[in-house]
Structure 1
Amino acid sequence: MYYINDGVFGTLFDWLSLREIKDLKRAVPLVRKERQHERTFPTTIWGPTCDSTDIVCEDVEYPEHHIGDYIVFENLGAYGMTFATNFNGFPKPTVQVYIKEDMWNMLHSVAGVDWKQKTLTFFESILEKAH
């Protein structure tokens, strides 16, 4: 059982609404390729609040993790910061933006010379508003 620094009242809000779709039984965290052959354990991941609704996933097979490890959920979080709250005194998590280098270069090549700086400024302004 793990408690993480984000949950359904934060950027994983999408999962709270997706639970109602019968075919989507759970959010399943991704496992890095180099860890796919490690022993797994039945795992439940909870968000940081004391609310019984703040369960991210339950009874999934997952390798052992430690404090500081990243857990990645694919296709969740698109609207998370928009709907995130400081529920129960827990602040919104720090946002880290990742993009593949080839995608970054492609966007930069079609958008003009100053696109990179404008994009960085845009992301910085979003992060400032999130805190």
Structure 2
Amino acid sequence: GQYVIADGPLDTVPVWLRAGGAVALTRPAMHTTDANWKHLEWHVHAAPEIRGRLYEDAGDGYGASRLTVLSGGVVDGVLRLERSETGTLARARSEETVRVYGLGSVRQVTGARAHRFEEGVLELRVGADWTRLVVEP
């Protein structure tokens, strides 16, 4: 294991992302009546194996829901991410953002509407129905 000392200001909620982790975040809200986010950002840390899951529902008991699974990894320097979903909940968003940490360089991106690589972070703009991303160094 590894120990890390990090600042912990009281007005910030820390989110720790391990190598291979994928965490979905949305904008802050005072409360929610459902979990079908209009804005969604995936934060992914590049590694040989990547996994992440997101559960969304209508918030009213046993109604419609959706489970989204991200999987993939970095093999021979190429990042491949795949997204699958199951469930009947209609999407509340048309676009998502995927931020990838831990890449050394980016030469080509396939599967995104737009991308930028700045200060070691790859930001990808994708349609909410994306299924595959490939990033080559």
TM-score, length basis structure 2: 0.26
Q: Which is higher, the Rg of structure 1 or of structure 2? A: 1
Structure that is richer in strand per residue: 2
TM-score, length basis structure 1: 0.27
